[in-house]
Amino acid sequence: GAGVSQSPSNKVTEKGKDVELRCDPISGHTALYWYRQSLGQGLEFLIYFQGNSAPDKSGLPSDRFSAERTGGSVSTLTIQRTQQEDSAVYLCASSLGGPVTHYGYTFGSGTRLTVV
């Protein structure tokens, strides 16, 4: 597609439920990233995928968070047993090139997650 597509755009869930957030990167972009933006906070790195390499999961805040990328394209971020502190905007970005690249990032519009 022309841009990075994320769905849903908004999600309200009850505490303790599981949620899945989807990201469809720009066609041909081999690198995909998830970031989190909490209210009044900066952007926090969560996870990075590059081609078929093992993902860098060093930013995931707890084992309730997991992500996968199928076929080197679409990615799903799953949060199990959601907590109120998980409420944030989850942003996905994609980029051309490998781990070290001079290309910039293109971000999606984000998924606003609210845990009640």
| Binding positions for another protein, rule: CB under 8 A | 6, 31, 33, 35, 41-43, 45, 48, 50, 91, 93, 99-102, 104-110, 112
Q: Which is nearer to another protein, 21 or 91 (CB)?
A: 91
Assess contact for 89 and 110: CB atoms under 8 A.
Answer: yes
Q: Which is nearer to another protein, 49 or 115 (CB)?
A: 49
Task: Find the shortest distance in angstroms from Cβ 23 to another protein.
Answer: 11
Joined together, the tokens standing for residue 111 give 């998924």
- Rg (C-alpha) for the chain, rounded Å, is 13
Joined together, the tokens standing for residue 19 give 């949620």
Degrees to nearest 5, angle at CA 69 with 87 and 21: 25
Task: Find the shortest distance in angstroms from Cβ 108 to another protein.
Answer: 5
